[in-house]
Amino acid sequence: MKEITNRKLLKISILSVSLLPIMAATAVAPILGSIGDTFINTNPTLIKMILTIPAIMTIPVSLLSGRLASILNKRYILIVGILFYWLGGFLPYFSNNIYTLLFYRAFLGVGVGLILPLSTSIIADFFDGDEREKMIGLSSAWNNIGGAIAVLLSGILGRLSWRYSFGTYLIAIFPLIMVIFILPEPKRIENNKKTIKSIMNKALITVFMKMLLFYMIFYVLPTNIALFLKSENLGSTNAAAFFIASTSFMSFVTGLYFSKIIIKLKNYSELSGWVAMFLGFLILSLSHSVIFLFIAVLVMGFAFAILFPLFLIDTTKYAPKYANAFALSIVGSFGLLGQFLSPIIVNAIGNIIGISSARFSFQFSAIACFIVIVPLYFSNIRYSLISK
């Protein structure tokens, strides 16, 4: 009984860390307008950087975290990361100018960078096989519910003052306590070949490219939904927050049943995720009502909950066990790079064609998904024939 209880506490301590990454950005999304009203003479680009600076900091620090995990205790890295996250998340409450606020947001990015690769790496350290897949699915679910809670809580607190919204980051106290008092240090697997070249293989590079493409396409949704609602007279900023939260909530629900879903879908799991994302963007591109928008974001939430953990599982599968944290830091960095490039590439293509509407962005994303689906479908058919 004690062993079962300890196992449950281990899972809770690991999953508590998964609450943090997505909410790092989503928590402040609903209050950017209010912050802009406070710092009234501030360049709008600096206001937008409140969202982008954490992501920019996360990429290099995530790679550093993956490397540090091979020489330092992962618990210590997580504790330092959560402390940075907590301080960088909450201290903007006291900011009297935009530059101080951005400095604290950079601290938050450092925290996310230290946490991100280890939040999945510790799952690979303690679990194998089907249990690992189930835990990665649950981790994705907790990640998304953290994002949904952050958006809703920030919106509620933001009605009082945008400063109160930064209190959302105090949630980090819970995982900090769990890591300090519950999470054990994983056993270290020594290996002398700790270079990037030593862990790379064709399958792993393919996963990195898939994650880049996946994030690049998926993040067309959150970067365009508010503009789409406004241009189509379908809702306000609060409505955009609701739709983003709905996507996260659907991802949470799907993540709870992730292991059962991929058992049913078998080799068609990844294909199903891309098809769902294609259908989501197709419905968005044709939508003229809130009902169809709601259906579309739910389908997109399902797609995210399938593809994201699948790519993490593949990373742990194809990377040497001693280099799991480093490989996960790389795949996470490719995802963040895709998130960063998403609006740049889609807007550039729209400018070349001469169409820059949010609806075009959804149409383009649907086409991009279809282009991915076709070769993936024939690859699955070929694999099925070979298996027979």
Quick: pLDDT tens for 85-130: 999 999 999 999 999 999 999 999 999 999 999 998 999 899 988 8
Residue 309 pLDDT > 80, yes or no? yes
Residue 151 — pLDDT band, cuts 50, 70, 90? confident
What is the average pLDDT score of the chain? 88
Give the up-direction half-sphere exposure of residue 32: CA atoms within 13 A in the CB hemisphere.
22
Quick: pLDDT tens for 172-191: 999 999 999 999 988 876 65
Distance in angstroms (rounded) separating the CA atoms of residues 330 and 336: 10
Could you count the other beta carbons within 10 Å of the beta carbon of residue 311? 21
pLDDT, average across residues 209-221: 94
**212-230 b/e (C-beta count within 10 Å ≥ 16 → b):** bbbbbbbbbbbbbbbebbe
Terminal CA-to-CA distance of the chain, rounded, Å?
Answer: 44
Contact between 127 and 334 (Cβ < 8 Å): no
How far, CA to CA in Å, does 230 sit from each of 227, 243, 247, 322? 5, 13, 19, 49
Residue 208 — pLDDT band, cuts 50, 70, 90? very high
pLDDT, average across residues 264-284: 95
Could you count the other beta carbons within 10 Å of the beta carbon of residue 168? 25
Tokens 């070769």, located at residue? 375
Q: Maximum CA pair distance of the chain?
A: 67
Quick: pLDDT tens for 320-357: 877 888 898 899 889 988 888 888 888 889 889 888 78
Residue 385 — pLDDT band, cuts 50, 70, 90? low
Quick: pLDDT tens for 10-47: 999 999 999 998 888 778 877 877 888 899 888 877 88
- DSSP assignment string, 226-247: HHHHHHTT---HHHHHHHHHHH
Most confident listed range (65-69, 289-293, 317-321) = 289-293
Domains of the chain: 1-188 (1.20.1250.20), 191-388 (1.20.1250.20)
At 147, list the tokens.
């994002």
Quick: pLDDT tens for 225-271: 877 887 888 876 677 778 888 998 999 999 999 999 999 988 899 99
> Which conformational region is residue 267 in: left (phi greater than 0), alpha (psi within -120 to 50 degrees), or beta?
alpha
Distance in angstroms (rounded) separating the CA atoms of residues 292 and 301: 14
Helical segments of 93-201, H only: 98-126, 129-158, 162-165, 173-181, 196-199
Q: Which residues contact 252 (CB under 8 A, 6 or more apart)?
A: 141, 142, 144, 145, 148, 305
For the whole model, what pTM was predicted?
A: 0.82
Which carries the bigger pLDDT value, residue 188 or residue 84?
84
Predicted local confidence at residue 283, as pLDDT: 97
Residue 2 — pLDDT band, cuts 50, 70, 90? very low
Could you count the other beta carbons within 10 Å of the beta carbon of residue 185? 11
Residue 4 — pLDDT band, cuts 50, 70, 90? very low
Residue 387 — pLDDT band, cuts 50, 70, 90? low
Contact between 135 and 10 (Cβ < 8 Å): no
Cα four-point dihedral sign 50, 144, 56, 93: positive
At 195, list the tokens.
């270079």
Residue 272 — pLDDT band, cuts 50, 70, 90? very high
**340-362 b/e (C-beta count within 10 Å ≥ 16 → b):** bebbebbeeebeeeeeeebbbbb
